[in-house]
Amino acid sequence: MLGLTIREVSAALREGRISPTELCRKCLNRIKRTRHLNAYIAVTEELALKQAGEAEARLLRGAPKGPLDGIPFAVKDNFCTENIKTTCASRMLKDYTPPYTATVVQKLLNQGAILMGKTNMDEFAMGAGSTDGAFGPVRNPWSYAAPYRERTGAAPDSDWVVTGGSSGGSAAAVASLTSYLALGSDTGGSTRNPGALCGVVALKPTYGLLSRHGLIPLVNSMDVPGIMTRSVSDAAIVLGILQGQDTRDSTTTAAPSSLTELPEHFDVKNICVGIPQEYHAPGLSEETLAQWSRVADMFERAGARVKRVSLPHTQHSIVCYHVLCHAEVASNMARFDGLEYGHRSEEDSSTEAMYASSRHEGFNDVVRGRILSGNYFLLKQNSEHYFVKAQRVRRLIAEDFKRAFGSGVDVLLTPTTLADAARYSDFTQEDNRTRSAQEDVFTQPVNMAGLPAVSVPTALSSRGLPIGLQLIGPALQDKKLLGVAQWIEQRVGFPSITGAIKHMQDGSFDSFIIRHCPCEIEMRPVLCFMTC
Amino acid sequence: GPGLSLSLSLSLSLSLSLSLSLSLSLSLSDPQQLVGVVGLEVHAQINSNTKLFSGSSVRFSAPPNSLVSPFDASLPGTLPVLNKRCVEAAVMTALALNCTINKKSLFDRKHYFYADLPAGYQITQQRRPIAVDGTLTYSILGGKKRSQVIRRTSTIKQIQLEQDSGKSLHDDLRSQTLIDLNRAGVGLMELVMEPDMSCGEEAAAAVRELQLILQALGTCQANMSEGQLRVDANVSVHKPGEPLGVRTEVKNINSVRFLSRAIDYEIQRHIQVLQRGGTVQNETRAFDSKSGETIPMRDKEGLQDYRFMPEPNLPPLIVYEDNASLPTGIDACQAVVVQEIRAGLPELPSIKRDRLVQTYGILPEHSFTLVNEDGLVEYFEAVLKATTKEPRKVIGWVTNELVGHLKQRDMSVSQSPISPSALAELLERQESGHISSSVAKQVFQEMWRSPGKTASQIIQEQDLGLVSDATQLHSICQKVVDSHPVEVHAIRNGNKKVLNKLMGLVQKETKGRADPVLVRAILQEKTS
């Protein structure tokens, strides 16, 4: 039951095969048994059971609110939730309880979805590993699944791999079957990156299509609430519910269409898939490259036009992304002074001293480092050289995409990450800045341009860890993008973790079965273990 | 003699100082020739029900922190939503000040840490404000009797929309700072004026005119003591034709009168510093209204780098010229249309003054008094409606008697115990020859003291009516003529002016009630 998609479990709820309360309890148990993943900062058990009871009453009356009624979900801990602590995985907001709920969370609650808890992340979403939060790192559920254990002979306690980030807790929640969907946030890849590394579908919608009201910002001009699910069709259902103009967020736009259901069969014959040559970047693993070619070949064989395109300014994107990101971080973090809310230091010799030590105690090194460099970029004598220049390059990057889509390309196909997930012990060899630059290299240009992109799990690597590919579409073409993504999903046969993920101390590995088995697809040797 | 030597030494010292100052002006600074240069930055609180970017109410003197939304307190995750009313108020103000409206303007963040600025930045319009390049025309009174109206025009560089800050209350005893965020996020129009004024009087007249314009528009209540209008003055001195000197910024000025005094004090201070051979520090100073001096402020701005950055949560602000230029799909009630606002502009004070001068034939300086006092034009016009007396004769009653009495008691026109119709009745009695002008003034004072009593009642009760009984006046006049033989003799010798003295004596006898026309005729007859 826990391994089902939203669509499947929703049907089960309606048909009475399971009740929302039973489902909720199952998920709560699962959360307890997977506590070692550290996916949740807070589990809202009492509230979840109360909501489940209400959903149950509606379903019994035969009057569910919609496809999400009674469906457990998780929310990254940078979305405000009324009367529920919202920490951003920071000491600064360790005890902060917002008086209001983020629009996207409220929309899910209004649909009867059941909030299981708030998920772990990098502090203030600054990171690409979910290793730099005040509540400790998140562990990738695939670390405890059979393929990784069997293929690498990894030791259960020490060789676990990271989830990617910064929405690692949300990705882990969906992948470890404790929630059917989770909200992440995506500023430079923070939803797609852990989505790829944890083997879940991760959608970054067009900028402005989803409200940011209540999302504690990283970079306002790039942040988008992200959607993580186990299937593309589930992502479409959730997008349909969350999208649309919000009077409380002036940067939102009206949805181009009321997105309901994706067509079961998407015809790729008439589409053109662009392969950006610049994404053939140093550090790209052979296996990821192989997956990229494999899916490109699939398109070609199915009759789609596949062509090489150039996005010439791609190489400048990551450094400009960092300049813009740090500048906005410096600005957005200025409010955390310990006066109105958040951590306040004992230091009280002067207001300035209190600010300084509250901020020093409240923020980790990563946040403080970005504030420092961001303020440097915004100084009067530097702004033109760094900030304004980076903005100009941002425009060039957006134009690169525009030109590609203007030349007849419908979607761009790229890797989501350079490689599969790193072991925690390897990942932490490098500092946060280096890791962010490596991990976001394929994802952040999309945020610079405000475009929709989705990461689709494609295969397991030779280490038994997920590899994802990214599809990028023109602005507001989210639905078409998902149509193409579903076409891939239907053909790659990515396996799903089902059965119990046992506590790491059990020493036993999880059983592992294959859900999709599209036999018509010819698989490459490296992946043959997961084909039938 | 001693007188001569004195005048000689005087002229000597004069010529000495003259040559000294000449040589000084040739070298560096001649303090005699230094003149003040004044530019104003005016923060006008927009008269609107809610704040610039949130739905919190705006109210003066509400309980502390009772008008604070999550956005105003900068709770994380909250976003600004622009208040249309504030944009319309800024556009209307800009139109009244002959500005060019930027059809597209932008919002920026200006960063600094201060306890009453919860977000750590203020949202303002640094790169592209809503309006630029306007003028403010105002007048000062000059000439010997200060009755000559001199028009001046100052340039308005720009008008920008921005957020107000909260208020800090420092409790030095307990070394605490208390923060009230009621004001945080209230909409402000900042008017930046070019440094083209030269003294406190000009600045005060300009600000007074601005107050009247804002009040006429209804875009700002413009009460300086309540902080709805805050004026900072940038002051420097220089010799005409040379670059401006180092400037100081004077803050904390809460009335038009203090503005004038603060600026003039500051100009003199600059001149004295330079005279002593010192240099003026670029600093922010506060005006102390008790001492009449400016003092350096504990500088919260010091060498601030505001690290300006575009506000990413607000798209460009677009206003449209007319309904025809609205793009399709735009909800008309969501759009700000300049032409509609222009059509709704009320009569501005300068136009009102011209109209008053032309319509009623009153003097320009009287039109200033009328327009300066809230409600006085309406009062004046109401009196005119109820009397046959000429406007030129009514104006003095309103601008002198009424305003004089009001000022003495610090009252507004609406608080006057004498209504326009009551004053009109009094003036009618005078116009019809019922009472003399001096009695009329007496009656006015009595009316002021006993609100509700009509002029007629007072005239009757105190028997103030004009004495026009010929027999009675004849006998009084005869008494005066008999007791002043010298004056009578002078009149008979052709000095007709002396007749006025006799007239005065008769009026004294009758306590000013004698009919002057009749008295003159009788006296002429008796002295011929």
The string of DSSP codes covering A126-140 is --SSS-SSTT-PPBP
**Range in A93-102, A384-393, B12-21, B290-299 the model is least confident about:** B12-21
Looking at every residue in chain B, the average pLDDT score rounds to 89
Distance CA B189, CA B459 (A): 53
Residues of B in contact with A102 (CB under 8 A): 77
* Residue B452 φ/ψ region, left for φ over 0, alpha for ψ in the -120 to 50 degree band, beta for the rest: left
Q: CB contact, 8 Å: A379 with chain B? A: yes
Contact present, B455 and B425 (Cβ < 8 Å): yes
A285 a catalytic residue: no
The more confidently predicted of residues B303 and A510 is B303
Query: Rounded to an integer, what is the distance from CA B459 to the centroid of its chain?
Result: 38
Tens digit of each residue's pLDDT (9 = 90 or more) over A385-401: 999 999 999 999 999 99
Q: What is the mean pLDDT of residues A22-47?
A: 97
A166 a catalytic residue: yes
Distance CA A264, CA A468 (A): 21
Distance CA A409, CA B437 (A): 94
pLDDT-based confidence at A434, cuts 50/70/90? confident
Per DSSP, which regions of B308-408 are E strands? 309-310, 317-318
What pLDDT does B212 receive?
96
Distance CA A510, CA A420 (A): 20
Contact present, A75 and A69 (Cβ < 8 Å): no
Distance CA A464, CA A529 (A): 10
**What would you report as the CA-atom Rg of chain A, rounded to the nearest whole angstrom?**
22
Distance CA B250, CA B296 (A): 9
The more confidently predicted of residues B504 and A184 is A184
A143 a catalytic residue: no
Tens digit of each residue's pLDDT (9 = 90 or more) over A98-132: 999 999 999 999 999 999 999 999 999 999 999 99
Contacts of A126 (CB under 8 A, 6+ apart): A132, A166, A218, A329, A366, A367, A370, A432, A436
Contact present, A292 and A281 (Cβ < 8 Å): no
Q: A530 vs A163, A174, A288, A455, CA distance in Å?
A: 21, 21, 16, 20
User: Which residues 57-86 of chain B have a CB within 8 Å of chain A?
Assistant: 70, 73-82
pLDDT-based confidence at A156, cuts 50/70/90? low
Token representation of residue A450: 């405000």
What pLDDT does B12 receive?
35
Distance CA A71, CA A355 (A): 43
CA dihedral B371, B376, B382, B383 (to 10 degrees): -110
Distance CA B237, CA B216 (A): 34
What pLDDT does B300 receive?
52
Q: CB contact, 8 Å: B349 with chain A? A: no
Percent of chain B with pLDDT over 70: 93
Report how many Cβ contacts below 8 Å link chain A to chain B: 100
Distance CA B83, CA B93 (A): 16
Write the DSSP symbol of residue A384. I
Per DSSP, which regions of B46-171 are E strands? 100-101, 104-105, 108-111, 121-124, 131-142, 148-163, 167-171
Residues of A in contact with B74 (CB under 8 A): 335, 340
Q: What is the mean pLDDT of residues B161-169?
A: 95
What would the DSSP string read from start to end of B498-517? Answer: HHHHHHHHHHHHTTT-B-HH
Tally of CB atoms within 10 A around A296: 17
Distance CA B528, CA A281 (A): 123
The ipTM assigned to this model is 0.92
Tens digit of each residue's pLDDT (9 = 90 or more) over A250-274: 999 999 877 667 888 899 999 999 9
Distance CA B276, CA B273 (A): 5
Q: Look at residue B28 and tell me whether its pLDDT is greater than 60.
A: no
Q: Look at residue B232 and tell me whether its pLDDT is greater than 60.
A: yes
Q: Which of A250, A352, A378 sits opposite B81 (nearest CB)?
A: A250
Which one of B307, B311, B317, B333 would you mutate to disrupt binding with A, by most A Cβ within 10 Å of its Cβ?
B307
The more confidently predicted of residues A437 and A201 is A201
| 3-state SS record for A59-71 | HHCCCCCCCCCCC
The more confidently predicted of residues B362 and A516 is B362
pLDDT-based confidence at A498, cuts 50/70/90? low
- Cβ–Cβ of A380/B74 closer than 8 Å? no
Contacts of A38 (CB under 8 A, 6+ apart): A120, A135, A136, A137, A138, A139, A169
Closest Cα in chain B to A254: B329
CA dihedral B453, B456, B459, B460 (to 10 degrees): -100
Distance CA A363, CA B431 (A): 83
Contact present, B122 and B109 (Cβ < 8 Å): yes
- Termini Cα distance of chain B: 58
What pLDDT does B165 receive?
96
Closest Cα in chain B to A80: B77
What pLDDT does B23 receive?
35
Looking at every residue in chain A, the average pLDDT score rounds to 91
For residue A401, give the nearest of A203, A244, A206, A225 by alpha carbon.
A206
Contact present, B155 and B134 (Cβ < 8 Å): yes
**Which residue carries 């994706």 as its tokens?**
A262
Tally of CB atoms within 10 A around B81: 19
Q: CB contact, 8 Å: A375 with chain B? A: yes
pLDDT-based confidence at B508, cuts 50/70/90? confident
Token representation of residue A147: 């393929």
What pLDDT does B427 receive?
93
Q: What is the mean pLDDT of residues B186-206?
A: 97
Catalytic position from the list A76, A107, A204, A480: A76
Write the DSSP symbol of residue A420. S
Strand order, beta sheet including A466-472: A40-43, A114-119, A72-76, A181-186, A224-229, A201-204, A453-460, A466-472, A411-415, A272-276, A305-309
Nearest-Cα distance to chain B for A272, in Å, is 32
Distance CA B34, CA B28 (A): 11
Tens digit of each residue's pLDDT (9 = 90 or more) over B446-465: 999 998 889 989 988 888 88
Q: CB contact, 8 Å: B178 with chain A? A: no
Q: Strand B167-171 to strand A411-415: parallel, antiparallel, or no bridges (unpaired)?
A: unpaired
Distance CA A167, CA A225 (A): 11
Contacts of A343 (CB under 8 A, 6+ apart): A91, A92, A93, A94, A95, A336, A358, A361, A362
- Cβ–Cβ of B77/A98 closer than 8 Å? yes
